[in-house]
Structure formats: C-alpha cells, structure tokens
Amino acid sequence: MPSVTIPARTGDYVALKSGQRLKLINLHGTQVIDFWAFVFPSTTSTTGSDSTSTTSFIRSSSSTEVTGVTTSQPATPFPFVTGIQYFAASRTRSILSKLIPGTKDVLYTNKSVPLFTLLEDTTSGVHDTLFGCCDRFRMHNLGHPDFEHASCAENMHLALRRAAAQGVFRPGSISDEWTPDPLNVFMNVPITTSLDRESGGGRIECIPPESKAGEYIVLRAEIDCVAVMSACPNDLIVGVNAGKCLSVEYEPLPPHYYVSTVFLSASGDDYSTEADPAIAHFEFLHKSAWDTPHTPGIGRVKMSSPKRRIETDVMKLMMSDYEVTLVNDNMQEFYVIFKGPTETPFAEGKWKVHVELPDQYPYKSPSIGFVNKIFHPNIDEGSGSVCLDVINQTWSPMFDMINIFEVFLPQLLRYPNPTDPLNGEAAALLMREPRSYDARVKEYIAQYATNIHDDADEDEGETDGELSEVEDFNSDGEDEPAGAMEDV
C-alpha cells in the first residue's frame, strides 16, 4: 500500500484489522503527529465475559443505592455510546510504568486491553504521553484572539466524522465535546526538574522534535480499531513543531498475522505457562486482557496447532516481498534473502539467511544463520549463527517470520550489543574504533554480500563461480533447447 500524505494542519483516519501494521512517517522530521485509536463494540470479539464485553466501570455486585435513589443510568451518548474503547495514555503509562513507550511495548485501551504494539521506531525514541492535545480552547488560552485556530482535537473529530460518514461506525457514537489524550508521536517533552516538596516539580518543557526527516514508527494493531492522526497545527507553542506546521505521512502495511486466530480461548489447555517461558512472556503482555474474575486458569491459552502456524507464517513470508527458497519443499527449513537496513554500514549488503523452525514453533523461537559472511559482534563469523539469546529473550508466539526479517534482524544490525559478543574482534573494534568497524563491515559486504544470487529459481549453485555458470548457460543457450523441443 502506498503511503498517504496528511497535509499540514489536518487529520485523517484509517481502519485497521487486528494484526495489521501502521507506519507513521515524519516526512520533514520536525512535525508532531497526535495519535488516537478507537475500538467499536461491533468490531470486537465478545465471547464470554472479558474486558471488551464488560461495559460499566461499576461491578454488577456493587450497590448502586445512594440514599434511596437508584443511580444506575440509561446509556448516555456522552462521551460515547456504550462499549467503545479508546487509546488511554494514562492507562498505558501506568501499565508500562513509564512515560514513553519503547520498541515492543504495548499501548492499552481505557479497559487495559492491548491495542497496539510498537514494533519499530527508527527515531531516537522521543515521543510524549503527557501533553494534552491542542484544541480551540487551549489556542485561545495561549493568546489566539478567538476560538477559531485549527487544532488536533478538531482534526480528530473531523476525521471521525468522515469515518462515520463512510460507514466505519455509527455516526454520533462519540461526542465532539470529548477528546481523549493522544500519543504525541515525535513530540519532545523532557522533564527538566526533579520533584521538590516545597514547590512541586517535575517541570515539563516542550522543545523541537529530535527526529530526522523520514524517520518513522510502526505500530501493530492487536485488535480491530480505527486509528486517527493529526499533523499538529500548533504554532503558538513554538517548540511543538519547531515553529512550522508541515505535512506527515502514514502507511497501512499488509496484515500478516491475525492475532485473533491464534490465541484466545482461556479455557483451552494446549499450553501451560509453567512449561514455556515464551508463553509466560506472551501472557504477561496480555494478562490484563483476560484476567477477569470469570476467566479460570489464566495460565492456559489455546493456540492453533504449530503445523498450521508454520504453514501460515511461511506462506505470508513468501507472499510478501521476501524471496524464500524452501529446502526439499520443507516448510520448516528455508532460505530468505535479507537486505541490510538503510542508514547503517550494512545498508548495501544482501545476505542469504538460513531459517529453521523447531517443531514447537511459534512457542519456541526459530534458529537463524547467515550463509554468506557478515562482520557483526553478535553473529558468529564462522557459522553465521545469530546469538540465540537475542532472539530467545524477545521472542513471543505473537511474533512471526515477517517480524524476524522486518524487526529482529534489522534491529540486530542497527543496534549491535558488543558487551555479549559472538565475534570478539567485531565487538572490540566497534567499541574502540567505530569508524574502522564501519569500514570492516563494508569490506565484508564488498567481498561476501554484494553479488549474491537472489533468484529463488537458481539456487542449485553454492559458490559465485557455479552460479554464474548456470546463468551463462541459461542466457547463451536459450535458443538451442527451444529448437530441440520443436524437433521432438
């Protein structure tokens, strides 16, 4: 899908399916995107009593009698019709116990349901969850003479109106007198003082974004939702957008893994957390979604069979832009052509990566090895194997093969960990002489990772010499075999 431009000072929405990814691109580098998401009841699963089907914040067992008057109310349209959930910055901060989500962190709804996972962030990681979004009242408060200044709140409501008009949800479901706090993507709000008993403290300032043109984040929807983005029109607080309101881009990436088909019934007994740390990790991420009084045995989660997952994940990898070559038509062993991430010394390189999926995949992580040589602290130079801890420690059954090639490997090359090396020489060089490290990486690429064969049909050859012979035969002899065929 091509990327979509959000013109300066305006907003847009995109409906996302569970598993679908959304890339938010800082086209000019200095523009903040206010980001929200809403989950509508008709698009959520409502099997049994879970967070998505539980409506009120008052327990059914609680007394609603107040001095003889029943306080139970009919559903009111403010701030939204019953059952809608929204991205909750405050809930996310309290669940994560931090102010800014980092890569692999989950963003939550107001009912503590996982809403997005931050899969990738090419910025230095500066975003904000503290600043309320700008609105016409705040603009007036900042000195604008009337209430007619454009704002993120207005952009959000106009985008929601368009979504409703296009049938994404029922018009009038969300009051335009209510604006939840956004995730302020790319916004730079450092805390500049510590707490002071006398005068309060934890002063926050708004300074220009650190991100550079073209940097982006990728979010994966964990539930069907409508995401809303605003290219913040705030030019009254100069720091927000470095004084100039510019356009941004977003790109919905193809769905590649539908979470809802993989986990869900808490009554299943396929796997136990005690037996599998990967599952424990996975459940930790999602515990709040299933941890309701009516969900017995949170320690057990039903999953689709590993064989099906292997087939699905490999098929998705093959249908994406990756070149995949199966070994003996076996879905559990294959080669993938992997290109080095941009703006790293690995950018020009192309590697053939050997992948083996264990029988217990996705509960156990795949094993990954570079076939042609690569100079990297966490990749063994002789065998090409990737330090397994890197994958094992972060692996979760929620991830799939595309994550390996779009997130894990690019991050491994982008952020090597020289303190725990498989290639001591590369680690030492990176720490002592980063420039020589870059140069050596590039030398290796020139020697081993430049002219590798990436045509899946011609995988018989192993060395460059044999491969070029195969190619010569094909190109030179094309007419002759055709003639021979006619004779037959």
Question: Would you give the distance in Å from CA 342 to the centre of its chain?
Answer: 18
For Zn ion, give the closer residue by CB, 33 or 445. Answer: 33
Catalytic one of 134, 206, 245, 387: 387
Helices and strands counted in the chain (H then E): 12, 21
Quote the tokens at residue 196: 């002071």
Q: What size, in residues, is the chain?
A: 488
**Segment interacting with Zn ion, rule: CB under 5 A, options 158-166, 227-235, 246-254, 468-476:** 227-235
Question: Would you give the distance in Å from CA 104 to the centre of its chain?
Answer: 7
**Segment interacting with Zn ion, rule: CB under 5 A, options 53-61, 151-159, 165-173, 422-430:** 151-159
For Zn ion, give the closer residue by CB, 231 or 430. Answer: 231
Q: Does 139 bind Zn ion (CB under 5 A)?
A: no
Q: Is 349 helix (H, G, I), strand (E, B) or coil?
A: coil
CB of 140 to Zn ion, least distance (A): 14
CB of 248 to Zn ion, least distance (A): 12
Amino acid at 243: G
The sign of the CA dihedral 390, 395, 399, 401 is positive
- By CB under 5 A, the count of residues binding Zn ion is 4
CB of 212 to Zn ion, least distance (A): 21
Question: What mask, x for binding Zn ion by CB under 5 A, covers residues 105 to 134?
Answer: -----------------------------x
| DSSP letters spanning 224-287 | -EEEEEEE----SSTTTTTT----EEEEEEPP---GGGTB--TT--SEETTT-HHHHHHHHHHH
**Segment interacting with Zn ion, rule: CB under 5 A, options 139-147, 231-239, 244-252, 266-274:** 231-239
CB of 260 to Zn ion, least distance (A): 33
For Zn ion, give the closer residue by CB, 58 or 238. Answer: 238
Interacting positions 357-376 with Zn ion (CB under 5 A): none
For Zn ion, give the closer residue by CB, 152 or 253. Answer: 152
Residues 6+ apart with CB under 8 A from 296: 266, 267
133 catalytic residue (yes or no): no
For Zn ion, give the closer residue by CB, 156 or 266. Answer: 156
Helix (H) or strand (E) run with residue 39 in it: strand 33-39
Catalytic residue numbers, as ranges: 387
Binding site for Zn ion (CB under 5 A): 134, 152, 232, 234
